[in-house]
Homo-oligomer: A and B are copies of this chain.
Amino acid sequence: MSALDDGLARARAIAEEALPERGERLGPLAAPMGYAIEGGKALRGFLVLEGARLHGLDEGAVRGAVQAAECLHAYSLVHDDLPSMDDDDLRRGRPTLHRQWDEATAILAGDGLQALSFELLAGLDLPPSRVVALIRGFASAVGAEGMVLGQAMDIAAETAEAPLTLEEITDLQAKKTGALIRWSAGAGAVMAGADDGPLDTYGRALGMAFQIADDLLDVTGDAGTVGKATGKDADAGKATFVSLLGLKAAQARASALVEEACDALSPYGPDAETLRDAARFVISRKR
């Protein structure tokens, strides 16, 4: 098992322990919230874990941040899949949450996962000033100026008269997908009270590469492997990096971003090789 596979598996295991650790206290939401977290790649949790390791932080001290990143990501998928949003039936190869339960449960499980992610961060046993800095970045990355706004812009684009320009789609995706990936990459440095500049640059480039790869998968992947519906963007006439740049140029752009991400890690030397592998994985993944 490569160090990358091992790190992703560790992050996944930590994420999936977030709910069992709370026992019976979540009542009827325990099962749907757990379902939402299961089966992900845990890329965001891995980024938190690996950034923390690079800064000498113990895995036990940062578990809550790993879980927070994955809970938040899970919430965003559950709400994005709702009938009034992207109306998806399939996610990670299984029925979406509102198909498995119902809409009310999906909305509430998502709401609960967002709140839980903040609770996990506030519960970190680290110097309070660092915890506050971490939460501040998290809230603005996911909130009405970040991820939530990105999704609102995405939905507005569906009914807009003209398709988005490259500049607009770049801004939209930096918010919708990029912000949480960027926060996850930088979290280790913030928790260590260190300069998060290099990891932030890495996370920004990685987030954009990830989204271009996602657009490529929507064109080149098949639903069985990807674990969700494909071809949706083209069917909807939506502007994507692929529709705007073309297949080849989109691939070249993603490769250039991966290179930029890897270069940003030079202060960490060979110790950051697993993060470099993660960047390469992001554009070569099949799901």
Contacts and interface: CB of A to CB of B under 8 A. Distances in A.
B136 A119 contact: yes
Nearest to A130: B128
B149 A122 contact: no
Interface of A: 22, 25-29, 33, 79, 82, 84-85, 102-105, 107-108, 110-116, 118-119, 122-123, 127-129, 131-132, 135-136, 138-140, 142-146, 148-149, 151-153, 155-156
B119 A140 contact: yes
Nearest to A102: B84
Given A85-B107, A104-B85, A107-B84, A116 B135 contact: no
A38 B42 CA distance: 39
A139 B118 contact: yes
A246 B269 CA distance: 72
A141 to B, nearest CB: 9
Given A114-B114, A135-B135, A144 B29 contact: yes
A127 B135 CA distance: 15
Contact of A27 (B22, B110, B122, B152): B152
A85 B103 CA distance: 8
A113 B149 CA distance: 11
Contacts of A135: 118, 122, 135
Contact of A113 (B26, B118, B144): B144
